[in-house]
Each structure stands twice: as C-alpha cells, then as structure tokens.
Amino acid sequence: MIRYLWSLVCYFFRPWIKWFLRQTTQMCELQRICYGEPSGAPRALAIEDSLRHSRDATIKKLLIYLDDISDKCEITIETEQEVLQEVIKTVLLTKKINPVAHPDFAKSFGKCIELIWGYRQLCVECEELRKIPYDAENPEHEALLMKLWDSLNPDEILTSRVSKQWQHIGFQGDDPKTDFRGMGILGLSNLIYFAQEYSGTVKQVLLHSLHPRYGYPFAIVGINLTSMALRLLRDGSAKTHIYNSSKTLPTIRAFHHFYCCLFYAFDGFWMQSKPNNMMEFSSVQERFESNIRATLASPTTVFRLNVSVDNV
C-alpha cells in the first residue's frame, strides 16, 4: 500500500520536480544524468528509467520505434550509426539541447541508447536460439556437438556418435541430444563458447566435475546454468553486468561471456558448499542464484572470469 501511494506521489509530482530542476540547472533530466552518473550501468539504467517515464509524445513515439527495431533484431553494424544519429537528433530537438554548447551529451546519450536497446535485442536473439531444438538429423547441429567433444577432449577420439564417453563430460546417457531439450541450441552454444574461449579454465572446471566426492555432471549443470543466465537476462537482472562490460552494442558474445562467468563462479560455489551428493543440486543452485542476484543488484557490478582455477 505504501509503495503504491509513493508511486502515485512520484507520478503526479515528477513533472514539477523536473521543471524546477530544469529552471535551476538549465539542463533537462537526460543531461543531468549523462553529466552526473558514471558511465555504464549507473548512467544507462537512469537514462532508461527517465525515457520510460517520459510523457512527451515525441519521446514515446521514439521508444516505440526503438522497441520495434530491436524486437526485430534490426540494429546491426550497418544500421547502428544511422539509428543512433536519428535518435540523438530527435532528442536534441525535443529537449531543446544545443549540441554546440553541450558537445559531450550526444556521445554519452548515444552510448546509453546502444546499451539499452542492444540488451533488448540480445534478449530476442537468445530466445530465438533457445527455441531451436537440437536435431540429430541436422548436419550443422551434429557438427556443433562434435566441436564440443573435440574442444573438451582434444586427445580422446569419440569411438561412436552414441557412446558412454558422453557421460565422461557430464551428459546423462549415451546420446546427448535429449539433454538439450529445454535450452536448445543456446545451451550447446554456451558450452562450446566456454570450451573454446576459456580452454584452460574449462579443463580445470571439468576436472572439478570429476572429483570423486564433490563431482557433478559438467554438461547437465552447464545447461542448467544456461537456463539461469537466460532468466537473469529476461527479468533485467543481468543489465548491470552487460551494461558495465559492453564496450559496443551487446551481442550474443556478451551473453556467452556472462554464462562463462556464472559457470566459473558456480564451480567454486559448489566446491565450497561440499554437498553430500547431487540430490543437493537444487538447493545449492538456489543459494547460488540468490547470491548472484544480490551481486547484480549493485549498479557497479561486472563479473570477470579469473582464468586461474585452483585444483581441489
């Protein structure tokens, strides 16, 4: 009830507060944010909030346009600059900002737009990959699966496509195709990225998964972590990390890197938890996700993957 009343107060008094601050600072809210908030998540989150609460018809129309093109994944390397220039031009005119008097605003504001709608587009791209089921009849899918094996076991030959060897890297049975059901090609792509981009780290993590007492099924846990990473992306919790870590338009590589950081962190968390058996996986994962969400709540959060992993 109190929160509802507070939201009503903010709704009615926000325009007056903005008007007062504009008169006293001679700057609109977007300018005050760009000049007053640190770059990355603190600035982008504040800009996003300001734009979403705007009552200006032109700004509302601009947001509909940005939402539409990002939902259609139309922000590309080729179109990005044109989109940003049009958005910046519209805001400068609408907010009556003199670009000569405020030369730094366009760059700071444009970066925020790139992050905000790049993130929205990333959500769409990840969801599209998740929707693609693994198809054993698809040569491209089979090639990806073989790439995963070769990346994790470069010195071991897979004796046959269906083999108990898959269980050595944490799949449930002799044929891993059924394990990708929930996360589709996204789950497989995450595992491949981790194995190829952080080969030294992934070998140590894989070694941990084979621990005689605290081991866990590497691939199955990896697919579960894809699900967790996607949850955090969808509900916006991952914005702090993505906004702080992305130097350019967030792409699928940003999600892959986020996933790798989660996998690395989970491995350490699992080992420190010293579970009695895999029956404790759900409770350990819940605690881990809770910790990650708490960390992501800070606007300065950015996960980094430390490539050195101690043996257990």
Are residues 194 and 74 located together in one domain of the fold? no
The region, left, alpha or beta by phi > 0 then psi within -120 to 50, assigned to residue 96 is: left
Rounded distance between C-alpha atoms, residue 222 and residue 262, angstroms = 10
- Token pair, residue 19, equals 């008007």
* 261 has pLDDT over 60: yes
Q: What is the mean pLDDT of residues 50-62?
A: 96
Are residues 201 and 92 located together in one domain of the fold? no
* 12 has pLDDT over 70: no
Total count of residues recorded for the chain: 312
Q: Which of 83, 111, 130 is the last residue before a domain boundary?
A: 130
Rounded distance between C-alpha atoms, residue 170 and residue 168, angstroms = 6
pLDDT of residue 3: 54
Q: What is the mean pLDDT of residues 182-208?
A: 96
Rounded distance between C-alpha atoms, residue 105 and residue 108, angstroms = 5
Residue 307 falls inside a structural domain: no
Are residues 79 and 112 located together in one domain of the fold? yes
What DSSP character marks residue 173? S
Greatest alpha-carbon pair distance for the chain in Å reads 75
Are residues 66 and 26 located together in one domain of the fold? yes
Are residues 197 and 153 located together in one domain of the fold? yes
Q: What is the mean pLDDT of residues 151-173?
A: 93
Are residues 94 and 147 located together in one domain of the fold? no
- Token pair, residue 4, equals 């509802």
Are residues 189 and 85 located together in one domain of the fold? no
Are residues 84 and 148 located together in one domain of the fold? no
* 186 has pLDDT over 70: yes
pTM of the model: 0.90
Q: How many domains does the chain have?
A: 2
Residue 146 falls inside a structural domain: yes
Rounded to 5°, the CA angle 205-207-212 comes to 125
Rounded distance between C-alpha atoms, residue 253 and residue 190, angstroms = 9
Residue 100 falls inside a structural domain: yes
Phi, psi dihedral angles at 276 (to 5 degrees): -70, -35
Owner of token pair 């670009």: 99
Q: Which amino acid is at 296?
A: L
Phi, psi dihedral angles at 163 (to 5 degrees): -155, 150
Instruction: Name the H helices within 132-209.
Output: 139-152, 184-197, 199-209
Are residues 46 and 110 located together in one domain of the fold? yes
Are residues 113 and 193 located together in one domain of the fold? no
Instruction: Name the H helices within 132-177.
Output: 139-152
Q: What is the mean pLDDT of residues 241-260?
A: 97
Rounded distance between C-alpha atoms, residue 65 and residue 80, angstroms = 14
Are residues 33 and 120 located together in one domain of the fold? yes
Q: Which of 130, 159, 183 is the last residue before a domain boundary?
A: 130
Q: How confident is the model at residue 181 (pLDDT cuts 50, 70, 90)?
A: confident
Are residues 123 and 140 located together in one domain of the fold? no
- Give the containing element (helix H, strand E) for 169: none
Rounded distance between C-alpha atoms, residue 119 and residue 251, angstroms = 8
Residue 157 falls inside a structural domain: yes
* 66 has pLDDT over 50: yes
Residue 22 falls inside a structural domain: yes
Owner of token pair 């199955």: 220
Q: Which of 103, 130, 157 is the last residue before a domain boundary?
A: 130
Question: In terms of residue numbers, what domain contains 237?
Answer: 134-296
Q: What is the pLDDT of residues 117-145, one digit of tens each?
A: 999 999 999 999 999 999 999 999 999 99
Q: Is 155 helix (H, G, I), strand (E, B) or coil?
A: coil
Residue 304 falls inside a structural domain: no
Query: Is the CB of residue 199 less than 8 Å from the CB of residue 151?
Result: yes
Q: Is 133 helix (H, G, I), strand (E, B) or coil?
A: coil
pLDDT of residue 307: 52
Residue 309 falls inside a structural domain: no
Q: What is the pLDDT of residues 281-290, one digit of tens each?
A: 999 999 999 9
Residue 188 falls inside a structural domain: yes
